[in-house]
Amino acid sequence: MSRDVREVCGAWQQHQRHSFLQPSPGLTRHVARYWAVSWEYAEPYRQLIVPYPNVHLTFQGGRALVTGVSSGHQFRVLSGRSGVLGVAFRPGCFRPFLGAAVSTITDRTIDAREVFGPALPSEPDVPAVERLLREHAPEPDPKAELAAGVVALVIARPEITRVDALAAEFGTSVRQLQRLFAEYVGIGPKWVIRRYRLHEVTERMAQGAELDWAGLAVELGYADQAHLVRDFKALFGETPTRYAARY
């Protein structure tokens, strides 16, 4: 399949604008960041969406949606002139809003009114969204903080490549950690570890590093290079070689 030249070597930046804001101090327990994307495309563009273990609340075209963690990559078609305002919740910290296991919305998108009721901002901006979140702010949940802390450790410690090693860091069993993630994060700890280790691969690509794929597979805890490439393609939608062309 031929490559859309608009996605190669950063060409997408000519058509899209991204901005990020940090939450107010009273909401940092729940919210990782606010984000906004605007775009203008004369011809439809297939945007690759690579997942992280965050639940998102988005506002676009008069609709508000809650999107659970996606287990794999997605493509969304962008066309014309439009934009989205979004809230990325901290991993594990949407469970108190949802009132149910976050795994119930994994790979799903639901109407935000199911969670926040009908009184959603008619003209959403960050101050209006923050008012909404404050109105629905749940009681502190120690397990949500624990789940967020486990994910934060995965990010901070690249040498963690196995679930049993992660469980040992918190003095728990693999099964207990899996249950915590199903309830609060929405996806398993193995997926989260793989996601952030593969993120490190794309960071090296972006820096122009020459990669020893066989050695890298061992470093990241894979049985061999083929398993690394398989996981990479499942998450990013293409082989590492093709993905590298983006940079």
Domain CATH code at residue 178:
1.10.10.60
| 119 φ/ψ angles, rounded to the nearest 5 degrees | -85, 70
Predicted pLDDT of residue 231:
92
For 205-237, write each residue's pLDDT tens digit: 878 778 888 888 888 888 889 999 999 998 888
Predicted pLDDT of residue 221:
84
Is the predicted pLDDT of residue 10 greater than 80, yes or no?
no
How many structural domains compose the chain? 2
Both 84 and 199 in one domain: the answer is no
Domain boundary among 85, 108, 135: 135
Predicted pLDDT of residue 54:
98
Predicted pLDDT of residue 220:
86
Predicted pLDDT of residue 241:
82
> How many degrees, rounded to 5, is the angle at CA 196 between CA 55 and CA 39?
55
For 122-147, write each residue's pLDDT tens digit: 889 999 999 999 999 999 999 999 99
- Host domain of residue 96: 5-135
> What's the chain's average pLDDT?
93
What confidence tier does 58 reach under pLDDT thresholds 50, 70, 90? very high
Burial class from Cβ neighbours inside 10 Å (0-12, 13-18, 19+) for residue 61 reads: exposed
What confidence tier does 113 reach under pLDDT thresholds 50, 70, 90? very high
Domain boundary among 114, 135, 156: 135
Both 179 and 128 in one domain: the answer is no
Both 81 and 19 in one domain: the answer is yes
Both 126 and 155 in one domain: the answer is no
What confidence tier does 1 reach under pLDDT thresholds 50, 70, 90? low
Both 105 and 157 in one domain: the answer is no
Predicted pLDDT of residue 144:
98
Predicted pLDDT of residue 65:
97
Both 83 and 151 in one domain: the answer is no
Is the predicted pLDDT of residue 182 greater than 60, yes or no?
yes
Both 54 and 153 in one domain: the answer is no
More confident residue, 1 or 197: 197
Both 119 and 148 in one domain: the answer is no
Predicted pLDDT of residue 203:
86
Both 56 and 129 in one domain: the answer is yes
Per-residue pLDDT, averaged over 76-100, amounts to 97
Both 72 and 118 in one domain: the answer is yes
More confident residue, 86 or 199: 86
Both 90 and 24 in one domain: the answer is yes
Domain boundary among 102, 135, 168: 135
Both 158 and 236 in one domain: the answer is yes
Is the predicted pLDDT of residue 247 greater than 70, yes or no?
no
